[in-house]
Chain A
Amino acid sequence: MKLLLRSFVRFFARTPWATLTAGLGIALGVASTVATHLLGLAVSDQLGARTAPHLRGVTHVAERVDATMADYFDLRRQWRRGELPQVEWITPVVQGQLVAAGRRYQVVGADGFRLAAPGSSASARRNSIRADASLELAPKAVLQLAGERWTVAEVVDAGHENAVFADIGDALALLDRPADHLDYVALSLKAPFKGVRDALERLFPGLAAGLPADVEHLAGWTVRPVASVRPEQQFGNAVLFTRGALGLLALVVAWFIIYLICVLSLRRQQLLMTRLSALGVSRRELAAGFLGAIGVLAGVATLVGIAGGHGLAALLLRLSMAGIAAPPVMEMSAVVLIKALFSGFAVALVGAGVAFIRRAPGFLQPPAGRKGVRWGGAVVALALIAAGVTLEETGLYGGFLAVLAGSLIATAWVGPLLRWLRDAFEARRTGVGYRHGSSDGTAATTRNGLLFRLAMREATWHEADLGVALGALILAVGASVGIGLMVGSFERDFMRMLDQRLAHDFFLELHDQGGAALAHALREAHPGVVAVPLGERSVRLQGYTVQVGYADFTVAETARYGYAHALAPDQALASEALLNALGLSVGDSVEVGGEPLSIVHEFSGFGDVAPRLLVQAQAAAERFGALHYDRLGLSGLSAAELERWLAGAAPDVVVRQRAALRAGALDIFDRTFAITRALTLVALIVAVAGLYNAMMALRLNQRASVALLRALGLSAAEQRWLALMRGGALGVFAVVLALPLGLFIGVVLCDVINPRAFGWSVALSISAADWALPMTLGLAAAVAASVLPVPEESA
């Protein structure tokens, strides 16, 4: 047995180039798996760390009309009596806004002990608050709020802009609310599939974020998932899930390639096995020797892949976070190691085992294609696509299931399509006139005609050698095209929105200054200047936290949102996310502050973390009382003039220019998609490595044919041309199949996944720049794999 294993391992050692490329393929597959996992984990941890203190561990919120603290105590009594077994704990929450010294604060009140970080000594001390990092306050700083002094006990990165967290009694005092006021009850509910959810999250960071939230019922209360009061969490989850799903795609490509490499290794060793078999070595012994040798190769490649994946993830994270924050330190957890070992080692061994059963001596021909299974699979996949795309209830999983099913259809039909091409080609060849020198026949027997025919057959006759590699390439190019189309369409929509939204030359950020007064002073000092004070406050509508923006919405101001008329006091503009969340459409009414507003226009709100409603300042004043303005939109003044004027009138105002805002927004956009693009590129590189392996094995098998052609006088240039045509044909085949798959993925991402994940749809616009690059890369990869030299020693 030792001798047997030695013969197999020596085979690998004596063909270092082929072994190196096979090992590199496995290592790349493992590296992409590790990198994707670590990136998902880093993003997940970052989002998790930004949980607001009052929502730590909260899964749902319960609300009722005119809820009071008495209702809460009633609910708590039921829970303590054990009448609500699904509830783990409950806590009351109040929240509102407070303007102090010209600055607006979001005040959140909850149980003081629950607000404290685990292990923190700063608990429920009176007149102490926790401040969100966005307020830029230091611990122990003192704030003068509502006529009292408040000490900052802790600074928390909660992701709640300008928020202060206080014990519920303190919060009620700060907000000047009655002692029995209650906004909602935060709940922690026992999830029936928590174990499954946790396991899924550990294995594929981000994927659990797409699971639908559990729905619970409490008599007399409306129960909603916590995301309804924390929309930024929903946004983060959607980003996480999308990244997790992409990671899964990279994993599938990696597994495809690792399996392929095992098949190819077996093919390379076919002669060795035949000889050993002739010597009386049993199939079992052959299998053990082959699997042992593959195990050694896969083991080494997996270790290299783990190290490479860690480095790749660190590099991508550093690139995407440059200038924003220090990238987190990524640690290799047991889960990622197990996942890497499984991907590299176990998939290689299982792949080698399957390959051996299908292809080893005695089973030289691959099993005949099971036509019925393929058609049945296609019907099931189409049904999954239809369900995933049309049924809203399937959520993000439905969208990605549709993508997966589409990908399966594209890859499963590689073999039959190659066969069909071969048959179609042959049918044309045997057509009337070919043999007897008609125009068609003459062309077929000219030098170029014959070389072309030879190249086409080389490309279409080797389904068994090339099918899996082509499938992986189609998947990688298709995903790259689809994601490219989505990102490109999104970018164009986003820029169109920016062009509308950034109509003013400058945006002034105000703190202590009164926005209206500053606008008035500016207009007096510079007649002809356009100065529009802009304000915003959050309200709760049907259980959702909604941002209500107010301003003097003249025709010029509403044009920034794509609406051509001035707003009447009883009219409102609504973001797409708000209409989706509340189930409304243009023409419907929405009640704010006890009075209805008619929705006259829908606008896209890319980047808004919460649904938005825009109303006339007059309507806001009627509902909310005194208005506070945070910003001022300004046009008709040069930068120098504005600077001079502000130096005297309002030196603390922060001025943001349109160009800088636009550049900043696009920079954030690019960073958001940098990792996504990088992940698809990694999948593409892994697929190219696989195709090169497959082509190398094919070319080694065809050495006798090549020698024969050389003896017949085929020049080196003609042989290169032949290889180029063969690679080109394979590349065209792959990209022709990848293009519809890419379009399909693009449509699902834009019209299904984006609305379900973020609440906005993206108008798919097909630009050559989005699909040309991955298609060119795919084509070039196939040609390179066909033309690149295969060292003689690989045989």
Chain B
Amino acid sequence: MSAIRLDRVRKGFGDGTRYRRVIDEFSLEVAAGESVALCGPSGSGKSTLLNLMAGLLPVDAGTLTLRHDGRSFELSRLGESERTALRRRAVGYVFQFFNLVPTLTVLENVALPLALNRLDQHLPEAQQRLAALGLGDRLDAYPETLSGGEQQRVAIARALAHEPAIVLADEPTGNLDARHSEQVADALFAEAQRLGSALVVATHSAAVAERAGRIVGLTQ
């Protein structure tokens, strides 16, 4: 059973006078525990696809189904608030920039999805995960005091804290050097694998893409 399924999905953007189709008849299935890398040039629609999967954007046509706790949800049939609720429970998201809430500490950033899902009792595990990622002594630090690599590791810990069915990562190593990229990619793939989450990574990095079970190429 696939954790996420896209069937002939279309998406475009317009400003009233011009319209540009970014995603055209795109289909994809990702099973639970599977990892997929989305590769393609800038503007090919990688980030748009992730935003569609997260329910941040509605599809123009086609169907997009997420599976969570044994139930399937077709996103185009859900309203904004229902999509938000589903995203909160079923999706973990890692961005390239602006990944952490600047006014929350490391621990609070990780506690946020747990708190939103009323899973506060899992906080000690999240703390352990942070410690395992080498951030045990930075729990009270604010994001602005962390390095880029540390910030991305916190973001991964946060994305996985509530054990989501689907993890989406948009260029998670895009602004890191090779050494830190490796650390972050290791953490992301290992944690998703451990939790049995479906992982979809949009990346330009061949090193990251190679770690995925499957690579999907996108063209402009």
- Show the binding face of A for B, using Cβ within 8 Å: 429-430, 435, 437, 442, 444-447, 449-450, 453-454, 457-458, 461, 704-705, 707-718
B201 to chain A, nearest CB (A): 16
Residue of A nearest to B113 (CB): A712
**Given the known A-B contacts A445-B108, A445-B111, A454-B104, are A715 and B56 also in contact in the complex, defined by CB atoms under 8 Å?**
no
Cβ-defined contact, A713 with B85, below 8 A: yes
Top 10 nearest A-B pairs (CB, nearest first) are: A713-B88, A457-B103, A704-B98, A447-B115, A445-B111, A450-B115, A713-B87, A715-B84, A711-B93, A446-B120
**Given the known A-B contacts A712-B88, A713-B89, are A445 and B116 also in contact in the complex, defined by CB atoms under 8 Å?**
no
Which of A435, A449, A704, A716 is close to B115, meaning CB atoms less than 8 Å apart?
A449
Q: How long is the Cα–Cα vector from A444 to B140 in the complex, in angstroms? A: 13
**Given the known A-B contacts A430-B140, A445-B108, are A711 and B116 also in contact in the complex, defined by CB atoms under 8 Å?**
no
Cβ-defined contact, A450 with B112, below 8 A: yes
**Given the known A-B contacts A454-B101, A454-B104, A457-B103, are A712 and B112 also in contact in the complex, defined by CB atoms under 8 Å?**
yes
A711 to chain B, nearest CB (A): 5
Q: How long is the Cα–Cα vector from A447 to B158 in the complex, in angstroms? A: 15
B-side contacts of A710, CB under 8 Å: 56, 84
B102 to chain A, nearest CB (A): 6
Cβ-defined contact, A447 with B116, below 8 A: yes
Residue of A nearest to B159 (CB): A712
Is B220 part of the contact surface with A, judged by Cβ < 8 Å? no
Among B54, B111, B114, max chain A CB count under 10 A is at B111
Q: How long is the Cα–Cα vector from A247 to B99 in the complex, in angstroms? A: 49
Q: How long is the Cα–Cα vector from A711 to B99 in the complex, in angstroms? A: 10
Q: How long is the Cα–Cα vector from A450 to B100 in the complex, in angstroms? A: 14
Is B189 part of the contact surface with A, judged by Cβ < 8 Å? no
B-side contacts of A449, CB under 8 Å: 115
Is B179 part of the contact surface with A, judged by Cβ < 8 Å? no
Q: How long is the Cα–Cα vector from A435 to B130 in the complex, in angstroms? A: 13
A526 to chain B, nearest CB (A): 80
Cβ-defined contact, B115 with A445, below 8 A: yes
Cβ-defined contact, A708 with B139, below 8 A: no
Q: How long is the Cα–Cα vector from A698 to B120 in the complex, in angstroms? A: 31
- Show the binding face of B for A, using Cβ within 8 Å: 54, 56, 80-81, 84-85, 87-89, 91, 93, 95, 97-105, 107-108, 111-118, 120, 123-124, 127, 139-140, 158
Q: How long is the Cα–Cα vector from A288 to B111 in the complex, in angstroms? A: 48
**Given the known A-B contacts A450-B108, A453-B108, A454-B104, are A716 and B80 also in contact in the complex, defined by CB atoms under 8 Å?**
yes
B196 to chain A, nearest CB (A): 20
Cβ-defined contact, B107 with A435, below 8 A: yes
B-side contacts of A442, CB under 8 Å: 120
- For the A-B complex with A435-B140, A447-B116, A713-B89 known, give 5 more contacts whose Cβ atoms are closer than 8 Å: A437-B123, A454-B101, A457-B104, A712-B158, A717-B81
Cβ-defined contact, B84 with A716, below 8 A: yes
B-side contacts of A709, CB under 8 Å: 101
B-side contacts of A457, CB under 8 Å: 103-104
Cβ-defined contact, B120 with A715, below 8 A: no
Residue of B nearest to A441 (CB): B123
Among A449, A712, A718, max chain B CB count under 10 A is at A712
Q: How long is the Cα–Cα vector from A429 to B56 in the complex, in angstroms? A: 33
Which of B101, B123, B127 is close to A705, meaning CB atoms less than 8 Å apart?
B101
Q: How long is the Cα–Cα vector from A704 to B101 in the complex, in angstroms? A: 9
Cβ-defined contact, A713 with B113, below 8 A: yes
Q: List 25 A-B contacts (CB under 8 A).
A: A429-B105, A437-B124, A444-B108, A447-B115, A447-B118, A449-B115, A450-B104, A454-B104, A457-B103, A704-B98, A705-B101, A705-B103, A707-B98, A708-B101, A709-B101, A710-B56, A710-B84, A711-B54, A711-B56, A713-B87, A713-B88, A713-B89, A713-B117, A715-B81, A715-B85
**Given the known A-B contacts A447-B116, A450-B104, A454-B104, are A435 and B124 also in contact in the complex, defined by CB atoms under 8 Å?**
no
Q: How long is the Cα–Cα vector from A165 to B181 in the complex, in angstroms? A: 99
B130 to chain A, nearest CB (A): 11
A-side contacts of B120, CB under 8 Å: 442, 445-446
Q: How long is the Cα–Cα vector from A711 to B107 in the complex, in angstroms? A: 18
Q: How long is the Cα–Cα vector from A718 to B118 in the complex, in angstroms? A: 14
**Given the known A-B contacts A450-B115, A711-B93, A713-B88, are A435 and B139 also in contact in the complex, defined by CB atoms under 8 Å?**
yes
A768 to chain B, nearest CB (A): 35
Cβ-defined contact, A461 with B103, below 8 A: yes
B-side contacts of A714, CB under 8 Å: 84, 88, 116
Q: How long is the Cα–Cα vector from A730 to B120 in the complex, in angstroms? A: 29
**Given the known A-B contacts A445-B108, A445-B120, A458-B103, are A708 and B98 also in contact in the complex, defined by CB atoms under 8 Å?**
yes
Among A444, A445, A449, max chain B CB count under 10 A is at A445
A-side contacts of B112, CB under 8 Å: 450, 712
Cβ-defined contact, B116 with A446, below 8 A: no
B-side contacts of A454, CB under 8 Å: 101, 103-104
B-side contacts of A453, CB under 8 Å: 104, 108
Q: How long is the Cα–Cα vector from A458 to B140 in the complex, in angstroms? A: 18
A-side contacts of B114, CB under 8 Å: 445
B-side contacts of A704, CB under 8 Å: 97-98
B-side contacts of A447, CB under 8 Å: 115-116, 118
B86 to chain A, nearest CB (A): 8
Cβ-defined contact, B104 with A711, below 8 A: no
B-side contacts of A712, CB under 8 Å: 88, 93, 112-113, 116, 158
Residue of A nearest to B84 (CB): A715
Cβ-defined contact, A708 with B56, below 8 A: no
Cβ-defined contact, B115 with A705, below 8 A: no
Cβ-defined contact, B108 with A708, below 8 A: no
A517 to chain B, nearest CB (A): 85
A704 to chain B, nearest CB (A): 4
A29 to chain B, nearest CB (A): 31
A562 to chain B, nearest CB (A): 60
Q: How long is the Cα–Cα vector from A601 to B88 in the complex, in angstroms? A: 76
Q: How long is the Cα–Cα vector from A794 to B102 in the complex, in angstroms? A: 22
Which of A446, A705, A707, A715 is close to B102, meaning CB atoms less than 8 Å apart?
A705
B-side contacts of A715, CB under 8 Å: 81, 84-85, 88
Among A447, A453, A457, A704, max chain B CB count under 10 A is at A447
Residue of A nearest to B50 (CB): A711
Cβ-defined contact, B101 with A446, below 8 A: no
A-side contacts of B113, CB under 8 Å: 712-713
Which of A445, A708, A717 is close to B123, meaning CB atoms less than 8 Å apart?
A445
Q: How long is the Cα–Cα vector from A171 to B54 in the complex, in angstroms? A: 98
Q: How long is the Cα–Cα vector from A454 to B100 in the complex, in angstroms? A: 13
A496 to chain B, nearest CB (A): 53
A-side contacts of B111, CB under 8 Å: 445, 450
Residue of A nearest to B126 (CB): A445
Q: How long is the Cα–Cα vector from A447 to B117 in the complex, in angstroms? A: 8
Residue of A nearest to B114 (CB): A445
A-side contacts of B123, CB under 8 Å: 437, 445
A726 to chain B, nearest CB (A): 10
Among B97, B101, B115, B124, max chain A CB count under 10 A is at B101
Which of B85, B87, B105, B139 is close to A711, meaning CB atoms less than 8 Å apart?
B87
A387 to chain B, nearest CB (A): 44
B-side contacts of A446, CB under 8 Å: 115, 118, 120
B81 to chain A, nearest CB (A): 6
Q: How long is the Cα–Cα vector from A713 to B111 in the complex, in angstroms? A: 13
A643 to chain B, nearest CB (A): 73
A-side contacts of B117, CB under 8 Å: 713
Among B88, B93, B103, B140, max chain A CB count under 10 A is at B103
Q: How long is the Cα–Cα vector from A430 to B107 in the complex, in angstroms? A: 12
A-side contacts of B54, CB under 8 Å: 711
Q: How long is the Cα–Cα vector from A655 to B96 in the complex, in angstroms? A: 86
Residue of B nearest to A436 (CB): B124
Q: How long is the Cα–Cα vector from A196 to B25 in the complex, in angstroms? A: 81
Q: How long is the Cα–Cα vector from A710 to B88 in the complex, in angstroms? A: 9
Among A429, A430, A707, A713, max chain B CB count under 10 A is at A713
Among B112, B117, B124, max chain A CB count under 10 A is at B112
Q: How long is the Cα–Cα vector from A710 to B102 in the complex, in angstroms? A: 15
Q: How long is the Cα–Cα vector from A715 to B117 in the complex, in angstroms? A: 12
Q: How long is the Cα–Cα vector from A370 to B85 in the complex, in angstroms? A: 48
